[in-house]
Amino acid sequence: MPRTRLRKPDWLKVKFPVGVNYVRIDRYHRQQGLNSVCRSAACPNQGECWSKGTATFMILGSHCSRHCRFCNISSHPPQPPDPQEARKVATAIAELQLKHAVLTSVTRDDLPDGGAGQFVALIEQLRLQAPDCRIELLIPDLQGDWQALEKIVAAGPEIIGHNIETVPRLYPAVRPEAEYRRSLALLAQISRLAPDIVIKSGLMLGMGETEAEIQRVMSDLREHHCQVLTLGQYLAPTADHYPVQRYVPPDEFEQLARKGKEMGFEHVEAGPLVRSSYHAEEQFSAREG
């Protein structure tokens, strides 16, 4: 595996806008002790999204129980869940007057239900404090615990996402504690439990996958009832993470987006800077249009 770091192309250089909304969301993080995937995962779109007044809140702490080689989130031993976390996050979302909240978590294989109960508690708090807010979840695989998944689904979020992340050949090197088929099964299980919930997934490109492998994964996702797909460029957070093998040019993302629509995805958000929650509200509106 090459260790030489590739030079980042111009299309991946982003400005870091700030403004009233950015300052307000940043203040909430610091004052309330909240976590977001925007900050913990070093998302390149943090400035843009926060300036627009949107953020992806991350629950169940800031330490993940897994050791994926692409991710910037800490894998130090997780702490016990905060019993006040659901209330605090819901209060922040209500006071920020968000109309579309994206909620994710670290993976918590150390918890009996994988953290499902914390998702349910947060949804319940949001229904009380921000009843008009649309709820989008990005959940871990729960180690295939379908009873835990059923509790999340029964709480009634509008959208549930679970990222497939990469092609199955690369799982041992990139996310060794995950299972490709288990992730697909989770998506199908959501559809079986609640056909009205929008199902979403995403891949990072540039890890060494082939075009044929990408299209095979896209086909698998459609067969397992995924409706919304995000495709973005993988960016190694540090030199110690899995190295970028290729920077995928924008026109290839456009071609994959067209292919996805041909396959039957209701919406495909594809581009070098696309992430699961990037333009999440617009993604939901686009599939309705």
- Confidence at residue 42, expressed as pLDDT on a 0 to 100 scale: 47
- Confidence at residue 283, expressed as pLDDT on a 0 to 100 scale: 57
Q: Are 101 and 46 in contact (CB under 8 A)?
A: no
State the virtual CA torsion across 279, 247, 259, 161 in degrees, nearest 10.
-40
Q: Are 60 and 118 in contact (CB under 8 A)?
A: yes
- Confidence at residue 39, expressed as pLDDT on a 0 to 100 scale: 47
What are the start-end ranges of the E strands in 88-193?
A: 100-105, 134-138, 159-161
- What ranges do the domains of the chain cover? 10-288
* 10-288 homologous superfamily: Aldolase class I (3.20.20.70)
Residue 8: CB partners within 8 Å, gap ≥ 6?
247
Rounded Cα distance, 228 and 269, in Å: 8
Amino acid making up residue 262:
E
- Confidence at residue 1, expressed as pLDDT on a 0 to 100 scale: 45
Rounded Cα distance, 234 and 131, in Å: 35
Rounded Cα distance, 204 and 247, in Å: 11
Q: Are 211 and 248 in contact (CB under 8 A)?
A: no
What residues of the chain score a pLDDT lower than 70?
Answer: 1-5, 11-55, 277-289
pTM of the full structure: 0.85
Tokens of residue 224, six digits: 């397992």
- Confidence at residue 205, expressed as pLDDT on a 0 to 100 scale: 97
